[in-house]
A and B are shown apart, each in its own frame.
Chain A
Amino acid sequence: MDMKIYSFIFAMWVLIIIGGGIVVEFVGPISLSEDIEPIITSGVKVILALFLIFIWVFTLTKIKNWVFKSQAKS
């Protein structure tokens, strides 16, 4: 069995842990000025969370393409 697929799963796991750390340490505590509606603060957090998801999916797509191409070549 090729280790690349296990590496793919391991990479996903590491990305989940790192992503969780960024959400807890940086995104969660974000608090805009008291005058600003809480819904706007939530909206900013959602945008940042979506951006993180985009990076996560982009990274995984690159890994997937690399794994599939190297599997098909060998």
Chain B
Amino acid sequence: MEEKIIAAIIVSAIAFFAIYAFTPILIKFLQKRNLMVKDVNKPGNVMIPRPGGISILIGIVASEITLYFFFPISEILAIIITSILGFSVGIVDDRKTMGGWFKPLALAFCAAPILLLGAYDSNLDFPLFGSVKIPSLYLALVVFMIPITGNTINSIDVLNGVASGVTTIASFALAISLFILQNYEIGLACLGLAFASLAFYKYHKFPSRIFPGDSGSVMFGATYGVIAIVGGVEVIAAIAILPAIINSFLFLSSVKKIVEHREIKNPTSHTDDFKLKSTDDNHAPITLVRLLIAKKPLSEKQICNEILKLSAFSGVLAVITAFMMLVTI
């Protein structure tokens, strides 16, 4: 146990301080190269550096490689490789806007290391009722999981601090759940993701100093997905990111097809005092943000806080679910 506590401290510190120290350097570098995009929810012409995914990559990979030195198991290797592949898919999308199907398909290939390294257990665990063994179906689940989590976190990256904030809360909830289920090695890997996203949140929160870009948000999602699979906590992981899943669900159920988010009509518009209000366009998709502002316009900061509160609520449900996993009726 002593070794695990030391590993937890070192992995968390590397994940947090690598991003905390490197991100300001990256911000200056991106500003110098004029790699910036307009923050559409701010009055005037506010330009924000993007992508911050490089900083996230350094933090997550450095912490997970350190963890691999402590526990050289195939599951952690799968996390490292899948995270790097997730970043690669995102950076391609950052550099060149790809079609709506590019990310889901490319992310499906990112699941290859999990399958090739055999870093999964084909039992699917449910709370209260035990597990179901689905060897063939589980392979399909592995292939679908990374595109789902990658796109889900990417889709919610619409306001300052939301993608990193949701990932932070969900990852801490998932890490606690893994510790409850005594899966300590993967719990430590999840702790690395949690501290990495927390460090990035410091710069991404309202008002943002940097945007993660597709490379950052897709990498957050891909890392989260691979941890869920190798940790055997797929159901708990899904519960912890329910607000993000709701966002994707609302979007898909109103658009009824897979499209790149830049191709759709904006579901929100601005009031004179630059609050966000729901658009009057009936063809614009319903999203979580549109649902939150359906009643009355809210400021960007208020909406971010509401989404993070919903995430905290889901995180609590995820931890309750982890306790329910220990009970079989």
- The A contact surface, by secondary structure, is helix
Neighbour of A24 across the interface among B131, B242, B313, CB < 8 A:
B131
Neighbour of B291 across the interface among A10, A25, A49, A71, CB < 8 A:
A71
A27 within 8 A of B: yes
B81 within 8 A of A: no
Determine, out of B10-18, B155-163, B204-212, B243-251, the stretch whose residues face the partner at the interface: B243-251
A56 to chain B, nearest CB (A): 10
Cβ-defined contact, B292 with A20, below 8 A? no
* Complex Cα–Cα for A28 and B137 (A): 11
- The B contact surface, by secondary structure, is helix
A74 within 8 A of B: yes
Q: How many residues of B contact A (CB 8 A)?
A: 36
Residues of A near any B CB (own CB < 8 A) = 1-2, 5-6, 8-10, 12-13, 16-17, 20-21, 23-25, 27-28, 39, 42, 45-46, 49, 57, 60-61, 64, 67-68, 71-72, 74
Known contacts A8-B246, A9-B317, A64-B253; can you find 18 more A-B pairs with CB under 8 A? A9-B246, A9-B314, A12-B242, A13-B242, A16-B239, A17-B128, A17-B324, A20-B129, A20-B235, A21-B128, A21-B129, A23-B124, A42-B136, A45-B134, A46-B137, A60-B249, A64-B286, A68-B286
